């Protein structure tokens, strides 16, 4: 056995000595050409260096986003299930449960553009054109109230966008600031006098909610803190749900809607289905059910947790007339300051009227 080990050790040593000489005789490869390096050099710098030619608007990006991104990120970037929320979250970075979105957290538009272009859509990365990417990024920015619906995003207008958290980062100095801790012997036992629980998994929003089956009337209630985080992360919508019988007079007075307008509204409603449900058996989700909303009192669904802004509006007598619904749908945040509805709005009047006509068919 010892003789065998000597042979092995000798062979290994001879191999190590010979490696540099052998490496120079393989003749493999060649220096990369400048064109080849440029093909791999795809990163985009914060100042826009590396951006290709192209352009896009949020108006164009809305449909592209719906087709390529909404299955994970929601129709208006509110996030689906455990997929990332891309819009909202403003004012939450100082909390233990911050909502880190493109609008609240990301410091540079370049990061958004680069990541979308390289890595999205999930499972089909690299298929988006430069124009598609500009349009999607414009729509994400628009969903965060950082870009106009019809404004053009391009390499020329790139730096016009001001990201709220651009100055919220600092240089990582742990290599020097924490160097004193690295040389210490780690504590292996009795390191603390007492151990305290400072955070629950439900508050961190990493534990799925447990709910009853679809046919049941009861669902397990999450802790209040977890519910608050879920509402903030989803930017829950504020449109009201079915109203009481006292409101049926206003609804009944409405004329029958145009069937073609109803059909168009059903198509437009796809933007809302991630949060709102209608029809027989509809249940509250991120937003309330919308059965019976047209012509009825605001905030009338006793099983939905509305925002304080909508509660105040309801207490003031707000009724969802077609006119008020149209104004709300056009720009929810302008119509109702403090709403948690993250949807940026339907800018086309025909889309607003189509949605209202469609919703009026659900008593």
Residues with Cβ within 8 Å of 333's Cβ and at least 6 positions away in sequence, in order, are: 145, 339, 341, 344, 345
- What mean pLDDT do residues 66-74 have? 91
CA 9, CA 297: separation in Å to the nearest integer? 87
- What mean pLDDT do residues 303-325 have? 87
CA 174, CA 179: separation in Å to the nearest integer? 7
- What mean pLDDT do residues 127-154 have? 96
**What are the residues facing 57 on neighbouring strands?**
152
- pLDDT at residue 141, as a whole number: 97
Q: Rounded to a whole number, what is the distance in angstroms from the first to the last CA of the chain?
A: 89
Whether residue 235 has pLDDT greater than 50: no
- pLDDT at residue 114, as a whole number: 95
Pick 159 or 303 by higher pLDDT: 159
- pLDDT at residue 209, as a whole number: 54
- pLDDT at residue 310, as a whole number: 84
**pLDDT over 90 for what percent of the chain?**
34
Whether residue 238 has pLDDT greater than 70: no
**What are the residues facing 152 on neighbouring strands?**
57
Domains and CATH numbers, the chain: 55-160 (1.10.760.10), 245-359 (1.10.760.10)
CA 111, CA 15: separation in Å to the nearest integer? 46
Residues with Cβ within 8 Å of 89's Cβ and at least 6 positions away in sequence, in order, are: 98, 99, 100, 101, 103, 104, 105, 232, 233, 235
Whether residue 62 has pLDDT greater than 70: yes
Residue 271 pLDDT level (bands cut at 50, 70, 90): confident
Residue 269 near residue 358, CB atoms below 8 Å: yes
**CA geometry: angle at 308 spanning 303 and 311, to 5°?**
60
**Mean predicted lDDT score pLDDT of the chain:** 79
Burial class (CB in 10 A: 0-12, 13-18, 19+), 336: buried
- pLDDT at residue 24, as a whole number: 62
CA 106, CA 86: separation in Å to the nearest integer? 10
Residue pointed to by tokens 């979250």: 89
Pick 60 or 9 by higher pLDDT: 60
**pLDDT over 70 for what percent of the chain?**
77
- pLDDT at residue 205, as a whole number: 57
- What mean pLDDT do residues 92-105 have? 93
- pLDDT at residue 100, as a whole number: 94
CA 204, CA 198: separation in Å to the nearest integer? 11
Whether residue 31 has pLDDT greater than 60: yes
Residue 30 near residue 105, CB atoms below 8 Å: no
Whether residue 86 has pLDDT greater than 60: yes
Residue 84: how many CB atoms within 10 A of its CB?
A: 14
Write the Ramachandran bin of 122: left for phi over 0, alpha for psi from -120 to 50, otherwise beta.
Answer: beta
Query: Tell me, what DSSP letter sits at residue 92?
Result: -
Element (H, E) at 154: strand 152-154
The dihedral over CA atoms of 348, 353, 358, 359, expressed in degrees to the nearest 10, equals: 100
Computed on alpha carbons and rounded to an integer, the radius of gyration of the chain in Å comes to: 28
CA 144, CA 103: separation in Å to the nearest integer? 5
Question: Does this model's pTM top 0.75?
Answer: no
**What are the residues facing 56 on neighbouring strands?**
153
- What mean pLDDT do residues 201-205 have? 61
- What mean pLDDT do residues 89-110 have? 93
Least confident of 58-72, 95-109, 175-189: 175-189
């Amino acid at each position: 056995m010892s003789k065998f080990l000597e042979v092995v050790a000798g062979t290994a040593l001879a191999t190590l000595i010979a490696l540099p000489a052998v490496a120079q005789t393989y003749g493999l490869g060649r220096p990369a050409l400048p064109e080849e390096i440029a093909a791999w050099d795809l990163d985009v710098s914060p100042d826009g260096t590396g951006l290709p030619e192209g352009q896009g608007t949020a108006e164009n990006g809305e449909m592209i986003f719906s087709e390529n991104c909404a299955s994970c990120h929601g129709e208006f970037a509110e996030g689906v299930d455990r997929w990332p929320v891309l819009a909202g979250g403003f004012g939450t970075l100082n909390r233990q449960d911050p909502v880190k979105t493109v609008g609240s957290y990301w410091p540079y538009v370049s990061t958004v553009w680069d990541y979308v272009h390289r890595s999205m859509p999930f499972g089909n990365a690299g298929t988006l054109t430069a124009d598609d990417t500009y349009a999607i990024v414009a729509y994400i920015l628009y969903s965060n109230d950082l870009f106009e619906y019809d404004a053009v995003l391009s390499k020329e207008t790139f730096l016009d966008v001001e990201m709220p958290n651009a100055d919220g980062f600092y240089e990582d100095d742990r290599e020097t600031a924490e160097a004193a801790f690295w040389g210490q012997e780690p504590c292996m036992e009795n390191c603390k006098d007492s151990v305290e629980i400072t955070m629950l998994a439900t508050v961190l929003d990493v534990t799925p909610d447990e709910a009853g089956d679809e046919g049941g009337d009861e669902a397990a209630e999450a802790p209040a803190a977890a519910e608050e985080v879920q509402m903030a992360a989803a930017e829950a919508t504020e449109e009201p749900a079915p109203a009481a019988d006292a409101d049926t007079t206003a609804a009944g007075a409405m004329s029958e809607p145009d069937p073609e307008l109803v059909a168009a509204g059903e198509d437009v409603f796809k933007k809302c289905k991630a949060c709102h449900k209608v029809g027989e058996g509809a249940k509250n989700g991120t937003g309330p059910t919308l059965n019976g909303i047209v012509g009825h009192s605001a905030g009338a669904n006793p099983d939905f947790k509305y925002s304080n802004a909508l509660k105040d509006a309801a207490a003031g007598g707000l009724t969802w007339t077609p006119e008020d619904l149209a104004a709300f749908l056009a720009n929810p945040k302008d119509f109702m300051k403090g709403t948690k509805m993250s949807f940026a709005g339907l800018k086309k009047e025909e889309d607003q009227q189509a949605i209202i006509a469609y919703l009026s068919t659900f008593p």
